[in-house]
A and B are shown apart, each in its own frame.
Chain A
Amino acid sequence: MRYFLQRLLQFAIVFFLVTFGVMVFMRIGMNKPGDPARTMLGGLVPDDKAAAVNKQYHLNDNLFSQYFFWLTKMFRGDFGISVQQNVTVANYMKGRVLVTFFLGFYSLLWALIIAVPVAVYQAYRRDSNFDRAGNLFSFLFVSLPALVLAPFIIQLFVIRLGWFPRISEKVMPWQDLGAHFKNFFLPVLVLTLPLAAIFSRLLRADIVQTLQSDFITLASAKGVPPSRVLWTHALRNSLFSLLSSVGVQLGAIVGGALVVEQYFTMKGMGALLLTSILSKDLFVVQSVTAIVVAVVSLANLLIDLLYAVIDPRIRHARALT
């Protein structure tokens, strides 16, 4: 429990440091009063208008009070305003969060669904042809970032076969399930394959190692069938690298979504982030970054908890300290 509190504190420190850092960074080089507003509005605005915007959003205060102004509003659910789009950040994100959520969720899910059985079977039949083929494929896909994989997939499934639309519309599952999958299939595929490759490589290596432990031999000597030895005894003892990798890859999925949303012209958070960064939409960048950082860090915190659920040794070590 104390360990968990420690992690929570660590999370809080990182969150505040990163969000503050982002804000400070966004203000560097803006020496003259009115600069932030001018930047957001595109430079060619009269001074009095810039001054008004600055005043409205406390942009002339010192950095700390600006930060607290922004932070307290964040916690109240007010993410600020996109000055360029002239909407609140919350409304701006509203339709887009789900697109990226589905992208990330499906690709993570599918990557695990593919990677786990493949890795288990590879480790079980080590050095077999299946294992070798698996290794080769995972090598290939690890080396295929979304940027490179997407054109190949589009060329094959859209241009040659014509099975899927070139542009992925935002169709939600409760609207039309079939269309939802049809529109999400390719973008998810692009994100899934490299992810599955990374996961299966890590998991295979760990299971191979676990299979050499004495307790696995003992399980066999008890007459436990191989499937149970693999899935119950070996897999559970080999999940650690996989779990921590899931945590690390969450950030990579955000990056991947950025690229995939470009390729399939999807209106998701990635596209929103890209636009707002390139067009210097200060509040959007700040708030969205904060949300992304919070989600990724909280997910990692959750994974930490999961370790403890799986391994009683961690649980008990935590109880002691």
Chain B
Amino acid sequence: MSISIQAATRTSDGPLLQLEDVRTHFQTPRGLVRAVDGVSLTLERGKALGIVGESGSGKTILSRSIMGLLPTRGTIRQGSIRFEGREIGGLSRRAMRDVWGKEMAMIFQDPMTSLNPLMKIGAQIAEPLRIHLDMSRSDAWATAERLMQDVRIPAPGRRLRQYPHELSGGMRQRIMIAIAMACGPTLLLADEPTTALDVTVQAQILDLLGEQRRDRNMSLLLVTHDLGVVAGHTDEIGVMYGGKLVEMAPTGELFANMKMPYTEALLQSIPKLADASHTRLNVIGGRPPDLVNPPIGCRFSPRCPYVQDRCREEEPPLVPTVEDPRHTYACWYPVGSPEYHETKARRQREAEVAA
């Protein structure tokens, strides 16, 4: 009951989430790990933003930083995170507890390990309802059953009383979504929600997320390493590399007109159905940057096929494109520039010679 009320009374002035120069560093024996190193972005109400990057790009830590779900010891958090017009960047875990689950919820990667194995499904969905909305046990369980219906779980009345191990991975991820949506949050953070699932189930879960988001007027931050996953399910995409945003654009614009060689490389690493079955996949050579000693200049420069001297010396700023001010990128010689074409042509010649 309170879910619909919450969704309806939402004010719609100002962006829902605004990050400004967010930095999250960890003190480790090896040195300071700059997991997130100056990220600014804005998420409007009801919109979906995809954050894409390899493992180690800082995308997971970024989503955890927004939640404030970080270990307290050895963690340095800087920058501003405004949520519903309120600064939450510096809040303690204690203060965040009223936000967690109620206004902001998170879905984790692995549904097999993310549910308490000793607790009934119903109790796990009902838990946030009882804590945040002060529901009675029976109300909370009734709501839990409705939520399970919403996420398309057959025979929810029976499933309520079952334990996680009795459900399949896809089912469990649906339960995770039900838990996340229980109190009608305005922001849903999904960290690789489909990576651990079978391919056939992946699409179902993504569709479910999109549908629920529209029904409940939620915003979604979808973190993934797979450009294919975000393509059809987000309004905007941010590409992260080495703890920084390197390109950001509305989804259609990004695919039509990508500027960063890294984004291009990510796209090329997705196998296409049209390719012959023995086509070799394009792999991005090298490794993600060391976040303790990041490369000087552009962080992608050691792996970039179109690298120039300047890239190794000066770090490119995030600048908007001429055509679309919402499309920003950080590259000295973006895809489509003369230098890009020149290098690409040279590489091709070299490859032919070598062959």
Contact = CB atoms under 8 A, between A and B. Distances in A.
B106 to A, nearest CB: 5
A218 B131 CA distance: 14
B163 A233 contact: no
A224 B131 contact: yes
A132 interface: no
B344 interface: no
Contacts of A221: 67, 69, 100-101, 105-106
Interface stretch (A134-142, A174-182, A305-313): A305-313
Contact of A220 (B100, B118, B165): B100
Contacts of A233: 116, 119
A4 interface: no
Interface in A218-232: 218-226
A317 B335 CA distance: 57
Contact of B114 (A218, A226, A237, A313): A218
A223 B115 contact: no
A236 interface: yes
Given A237-B117, A313-B117, A223 B101 contact: yes
B83 to A, nearest CB: 14
Contact of A213 (B113, B165, B166, B179): B113
Interface string B111-128: 001111111000000011
Given A220-B69, A313-B163, A215 B101 contact: no
A310 B69 contact: no
B213 interface: no
Describe A's contact surface by its main secondary structure. helix
Contacts of B128: 222-224
A312 B165 contact: yes
Contacts of A224: 101, 127-128, 131
A166 to B, nearest CB: 48
B99 interface: yes
Interface in A196-252: 213-215, 217-226, 233, 236-237
A55 interface: no
Given A236-B118, A311-B117, A312-B118, A222 B131 contact: yes
Describe B's contact surface by its main secondary structure. loop
Q: Which range holds the interface residue count of chain A?
A: 20 to 34
B131 A313 contact: no
B102 interface: yes
Given A215-B114, A311-B117, A313-B117, A222 B127 contact: yes
Contacts of B119: 233
B110 A214 contact: yes
Contacts of B106: 218, 221
B97 interface: yes
B313 interface: no
Nearest to A237: B118
B26 interface: no
B98 interface: yes
Contacts of B99: 223
Nearest to A225: B97
B118 A310 contact: yes
Contacts of B98: 223
A49 interface: no
A190 B148 CA distance: 54
Contacts of A214: 108, 110, 113-114
Contact of B118 (A218, A226, A311, A316): A311
Contacts of B127: 219, 222, 224
B318 to A, nearest CB: 30
B178 to A, nearest CB: 12
Nearest to A312: B163
Nearest to B120: A312
Given A237-B118, A312-B118, A313-B163, A223 B113 contact: no
Closest 3 interchain pairs by CB? A223-B101, A223-B100, A222-B101
Given A220-B93, A222-B179, A223-B99, 19 more contacts: A213-B113, A214-B113, A215-B115, A217-B114, A219-B127, A221-B67, A221-B105, A221-B106, A222-B105, A222-B127, A224-B128, A224-B131, A233-B119, A237-B117, A237-B118, A310-B118, A313-B165, A316-B165, A316-B166
